[in-house]
Structure 1
Amino acid sequence: AVDQKGRPVRLAISGGHVHDSKLMPEFLDWEVPPLAIVADKAYSSGKIRQDIADEGALAVIPSKRNAKNPVPHDKNLYAMRNIVERFFCKMKDMRRLATRFEKKGANFLNMLYLFSMKLWIN
């Protein structure tokens, strides 16, 4: 999760064989819930939408193309998803993260923390 300035506020990693949507619970349970949670189509399940609604936030997630009952979303808010994409682009500029020099999950997460601190300082 990143804030509106592209600074990370929550990080989580998973195995390469685990779908990203399985980590959604890591990004919920806020002290002060966000107004909206923006995610891509991979997070468009009804359960995830309900979890976000239970959090008190608006789910800004486009429906998959093959959805039987497409759920509308705010396209202007969804455009803010580029903030997350820019974060990943900056992260890939750091060679150690892009090539995953750190093979242990804990070490890789610590490198992400260092990278995140660099973003917060700058």
Structure 2
Amino acid sequence: VPPLIDNVEFGGLIADKAFDSNALVAELNERGARIGISQHPARALKLKIDHETYKWRHLIENFFCMLKEFKRIALRACKTDQSFQAMIHLAAAVINSR
């Protein structure tokens, strides 16, 4: 992750528990960024997280779960990037209309 966020300005990071590392958390704290990382259950010392940012992480996670209900998206059945993007837009419109 460090090469990806190097020289990038942001106010917070929303991530899954795969990104729960002490080095990343230390860098985010050093930058003053809000942390919205799902903590690994085996973590000895629990992190202080921003609950408002964590709510957004949960909302995004739920949206991806709803997207995966669409078979063509879950199986990545589209042949091109454009058709895959079109299916995501279509599925998002269907989810939004529910």
| Pairwise TM-score range, normalised by the shorter structure | 0.5 to 0.7
Q: Does 1:63 align with 2:35?
A: no
- Determine what percentage of the aligned residue pairs are the same residue: 25
From 8, 17, 38, the equivalent of 2:14 is 38
Q: Which has the higher contact order (CA 8 A, sep 6+)?
A: 1
Deviations 1:20-61 (A, max 9, x none): xxxx4686358652x221223222112332454566632222
Match of residue 24 from structure 2: 48
Match of residue 74 from structure 1: 50
Residues 112, 30 of structure 1: CA spacing in aligned structure 2 closer, same or farther, 3 A cutoff?
A: farther
Match of residue 88 from structure 1: 64
Match of residue 113 from structure 1: 85
Q: Which one has the largest radius of gyration? A: 2
Q: What runs of 5+ residues in structure 2 fail to find an aligned partner? A: none
Q: What runs of 5+ residues in structure 1 fail to find an aligned partner? A: 1-23
Length-normalised TM-score, structure 2: 0.58
CA RMSD of aligned residues (A): 3.6
User: For 1:14-33, what aligned pairs fall within 5 Å after superposition?
Assistant: 24=1, 28=5, 32-33=9-10
Length-normalised TM-score, structure 1: 0.50
Bigger helix share: 2
Instruction: Figure out how many residues of one structure are paired with residues of the other and give that number.
Output: 93
